[in-house]
Amino acid sequence: MKDQYLFIFAQAHDDFRVPELYSVAELYGFDLVIPEDFDVARPFAVLELEKEEHARLLARRCVLIRSVYEFYARGSNYEELHVGNRAARPKWEKYIPDTSFKFVVNGYNQSVPQHRQKQVIEHFSYMDFLGKIDMKTPEIILGCFEEYRDTTGSIRQKHDDDGNFREVFFGRLVEEGSARPLVGKFNVKKRAYFGNTSMEAEVSLLMANQTLAAPGKLIYDPFVGTGSMLYTAAHFGALVFGSDIDGRQMRGKESRPGIIRAAIQYGVQQRVLDLCTFDVTHNPLRCGGIFDAIVTDPPYGVRAGAKRLGRKKRRIGSRPDDQPYIPPTKPYELSALARDLVLLARYLLKPQGRLVFFLPTVTEEYQEIDIQMMLCDGMEVAANSLQDFGAWGRRLVTIRRTTTFNYSSPTFDADGGDLGVNGEEHAPAHRDFREKYFQGFKREL
Amino acid sequence: MVRLITHNLLACHAKGCTTNNFPLQIKDAQLALREAEFNPDFLRGFIPRIEWAALVSAARQLGDESLPNEVPEMIDDDFLRGLHHVLLEIHIDEGAMVCPNCGHVYPISSGIPNMLLAEHEIG
Ligand SMILES: C[S@@+](CC[C@H](N)C(=O)[O-])C[C@H]1O[C@@H](n2cnc3c(N)ncnc32)[C@H](O)[C@@H]1O
Ligand SMILES: [Zn+2]
C-alpha cells in the first residue's frame, strides 16, 4: 500500500522536476508514483510513496523540492477540504492526545491576510488536538496552502482575490527540503575559482542528481573547464575525475590549480581523483567500463570553442600545460561531437552508467529525432529536459548504457554527416549551433 | 595528484604506439601523501580494472613495498586498506611519465599531467 505525500516545489527549471524525482528514487531504489495530471506549472502535487522515509530522502536530495507534507486533504473550497480531512482522521488521530503542534497557513501567488489565517485555523477545531500549541519547537507542523492563479500583469489590490483560490491543500510537515539551500552554497560568484564557462549552481546540482552521484561511484567530466559539476557530484559523495584540452581552464593563475582550490573550499578535495590535460578525441585512457557516470557541458563554440588536435605544425616538445602555448587545433562541429560523446560514453561507462550532458539547440527547429539520431546500440535516453532561453535553449540529456556488451573505443572520425533513423540525411537543430547563434538564429534565405 | 590509480589507467596514445606503451615510467617524482576516504565497495568494484603488475611496480618504484605480487584470493579489510593507501593516497605532484616504447614525455606540473600529443603523433 502506498501513502500520499504533498510536495511543494520550487517554481524553477520545471522541465527538470520529474527527471530529478525519478533519478533520486532510482538512486535509493524505491518506487514513486507521479499522477497522470501532474502539472509542472503548479507548485503543489500529491505523489505516492511506500514509506515516509522515502519522502525524507527526496527532500534531502532533490534541489527542486521546497518541502514535503503527509497529505491529508485537498479541495477547490474549504468544505471539500474539510470533508477530505475528516475522512483522513486515521492519519492524524494519533496526534490528538498530547502532541505539541503549530499551524501554518500560506498562500501561493498571493498572501493570506492575518485575520483570515486565524479563521482558517479555527475551522480545523473539530480535529480536537489536546496537545499544546508551540510556535517555536512543535512536535508537528500542520500546513494549509491556498494556491492562487498567477495574476502577474493584471491590475488589482493586494488581497482583492482573497479566498478565491484555485485549490487548497492540507497536511503534516514531514521534512523541509535541505538540498535547495545548496544552490547558495555552490554559488559561482562565491567560489574560490571560476570562469566565464562555469555552470550555474542550481543546474550543476540538477546535473549531479541526474548522474546518481553517491559514495563509491566514479564520475568523469571530459570537458571539465573550471570544474563546476565536479564539486556537486563530489558533494554527494562520488569520486570525480576531470580532463580538458586546455590546462589553463583547470589551473587558473595561481600555482595551486583553481579546481583544487574550489574543491578545498567545499571540503571535497579528497574526492577529486585527478585532473588531466588531454583532447578527449585523443585520450590516453587504457580501458573502458570504469565510470559510473559522465557529466559534462560540451563546448559548443559560443564561449569555449569546440576543438580537437589537428592543424599542421612542426613538432612541439613536451612541456607543462600551464604555459601560454596551446597545440594546434581544428574546429569540432557540434553534432559530430555529440555522436562521438555517446559512443565514448558507451565505451567508458559501466553497464547501467549514465551520460548526462547539455546539448544547445535552436528552439524552433528542435525535433525529438535530433536526440534519437545521436544514439547508438546499447544507449537509451532516460531523460531530456529543456532549459529555455527563448530563441535558443539547451537540453539536459540523460542517456543510460543499457548494454553489457563491451564495445571498443570510438575512432572519432564521425564526420560522415547526420543520418536519421531510416538512414536519411537529417540536419539536427544543434548542427552548426555556433554559426546559428552568431547569426541570431535567422534562417538562411 | 597524479594518484597511482590514475597512473594505472593512462597509456601512451601516440600514433602507432600500441605495444609496450603501458605502464608509463615515472621520472623525477615529487611525492606527497594525502589521506583519502576509505570506501571498500569502490575498491572491490575497481580491482577487476587494475593492471596489477603495473600497480605493484609503480608503487615499489616510489618506495612502497606493501602490495603482494598477486591479488589475493581472499580479499579482506586489511588488504583493502593497503590497496586504498597505494591507489589513492600516494600523489605525484611534479615529475613526468615517460612512454617505455616511444619515449614520449608526459610532464606533470602541480599535480596535473599533460597528456596532449603533438601534431605528428596523432593518427
Ligand atoms: C563549456 S566548457 C565547460 C565548462 C565547465 N563545465 C565549467 O564549469 O567551467 C567546455 C570546455 O571544453 C574544453 N574543450 C574543447 N574541446 C575539447 C576537446 N577536444 N577535448 C577536451 N576538452 C575540450 C574547453 O577547453 C572548455 O574548457
Ligand atoms: Zn608511446
For residue A327, the model assigns a pLDDT of 59
The pLDDT, as a whole number, for residue A323 is 59
Instruction: Show Cβ contacts of residue A377 under 8 Å, excluding neighbours closer than 6 positions.
Output: A403
Q: What residues contact A170, with CB distance under 8 A and at least 6 apart? A: A72, A73, A74, A81, A84, A85, A142, A143, A144, A145
As a whole number of angstroms, the distance between CA B118 and CA A193 comes to 29
Cβ of B22 within 8 Å of Cβ of A286? The answer is yes
List chain A domain ranges: 3-153+160-176, 184-314+322-438
User: Which cell numbers in the block locate residue A37?
Assistant: 495530471
Helix and strand totals (H; E) in chain A: 13, 16
- By the CB < 8 Å criterion, does A257 face chain B? yes
Q: Do A247 and B112 touch (CB under 8 A)?
A: yes
* Tens-digit pLDDT string for chain A (445 aa): 689 999 999 999 999 999 999 999 999 999 999 999 999 999 999 999 999 999 999 999 999 999 999 999 999 999 999 999 999 999 999 999 999 999 999 999 999 999 999 999 999 999 999 999 999 999 999 999 999 998 776 766 666 778 899 999 999 999 999 999 999 999 999 999 999 999 999 999 999 999 999 999 999 999 999 999 999 999 999 999 999 999 999 999 999 999 999 999 999 999 999 999 999 999 999 999 999 999 999 997 654 556 677 654 444 456 667 654 455 777 778 888 899 999 999 999 999 999 999 998 888 888 888 898 899 999 999 999 999 998 889 999 999 999 999 998 988 875 556 665 556 677 888 888 888 877 777 654 3
- Minimal Cα–Cα distance from A152 to chain B, Å? 50
What residue has cell string 534562417? A443
CB-based contact B112 A277, cutoff 8 Å: yes
* Residue A306: count of CB within 10 angstroms of its CB: 21
pLDDT of residue A313: 42
ipTM score for this prediction: 0.97
User: B42 CB near a chain A CB, below 8 Å?
Assistant: yes
- C-beta pairs of A313-316 under 8 Å, 24+ apart in sequence: A313/B118, A313/B119, A314/B119, A315/B118, A315/B119, A315/B120, A316/B118, A316/B119
- Which pLDDT value is given to residue A65? 98
Say yes or no: B119 contacts chain A, CB-CB below 8 A. yes
**Per-residue model confidence (pLDDT) at position A324:** 47
User: Could you give the CA distance from residue A394 to residue A422 in angstroms, rounded to a whole number?
Assistant: 26
Which chain A residues are Cβ-neighbours of B123 within 8 angstroms? 282
Contacts of A75 (CB under 8 A, 6+ apart): A81, A82, A83, A84, A167, A168
Query: In three state form, how does the secondary structure of B25-44 look?
Result: EEEEEEEEECCCCCCHHHHH
* CB proximity under 8 Å: B 45-104 to A: 45-46, 49, 51, 88, 96, 104
* Cα A137 to ligand 2 centroid, rounded to whole Å: 66
Q: Which residues of A328-367 are buried (b: 16+ CB within 10 A; e: fewer)?
A: ebeebbbbbbbbbbbbbbbbbbbeebbbbbbbbbbeebbe
E strands, A237-342, in order: 239-244, 272-277, 291-296, 307-309, 329-331
Chain B residues touching residue A241 (CB < 8 angstroms): 6
Distance CA B40, CA A216 (A): 8
* Reported CATH class of domain A3-153+160-176: alpha beta
Residue in A53, A57, A62 with CA at minimum distance from that of residue A16: A62
Which of the 8 DSSP states describes residue B49? G
Identify whether the C-beta of residue A211 lies closer than 8 Å to the C-beta of residue A356: yes
C-alpha triplet A245, B37, A352: angle, nearest 5°: 60
pLDDT score of A306: 65
C-alpha cell at A290: 570504469
* CATH of B2-121 among 3.10.20.30, 3.30.930.10, 2.20.25.10, 3.30.70.1230: 2.20.25.10
Question: Which residues on adjacent β-strands are paired with residue B109?
Answer: B112
Residue B108's closest chain A neighbor by CA?
A320
CB distance A68 to A55 below 8 Å: yes
- Walk across the sheet containing A140-147 and list its strands: A32-33, A44-49, A3-9, A65-75, A167-176, A140-147, A101-108
Report how far residue A359's alpha carbon sits from residue A371's, in angstroms, rounded to the nearest whole number: 9
pLDDT, average across residues B62-75:
95
**Number of the ligand closest to the Cα of A333:** 1
Q: Measuring from each residue's beta carbon to the nearest atom of ligand 1, which residues come in under 6 Å? A: A 195, 197-199, 223, 225-229, 244-246, 249, 279-281, 297, 299, 304, 306-308, 332
**For residues B95 and A431, which has the higher predicted lDDT (pLDDT)?**
B95
A297 alpha carbon to ligand 1 midpoint, in Å?
A: 7
Which candidate, A318, A320, A327, A308, places its Cα nearest to that of A414?
Answer: A308
For A261, residues 6+ apart whose C-beta sits below 8 A from its C-beta are A192, A193, A252, A254
Q: What CATH code would you report for A184-314+322-438?
A: 3.40.50.150
For chain B, domain boundaries: 2-121
Q: What is the DSSP string of A181-236?
A: THHHHT-GGGSSS--TTPPPHHHHHHHHHHTT--TT-EEEETT-TT-HHHHHHHHT
Pairing of strands A218-221, A239-244: parallel
Q: What is the pTM of this model?
A: 0.93
If you take atom 11 of ligand 1, which residue's CA is the nearest one?
A: A223
* Closest residue by Cα to residue B86 from B113, B47, B41: B47
Judge: B22–A216 Cβ closer than 8 Å, yes or no.
no
Rounded to the nearest angstrom, the distance between the alpha carbon of A5 and the centre of ligand 1 is 41
**Closest C-alpha residue for ligand 1 atom 24:** A304
Q: In A, residues 186-225, which contact B (CB 8 Å cutoff)? A: 215-218
A330 touches chain B (CB under 8 A): no
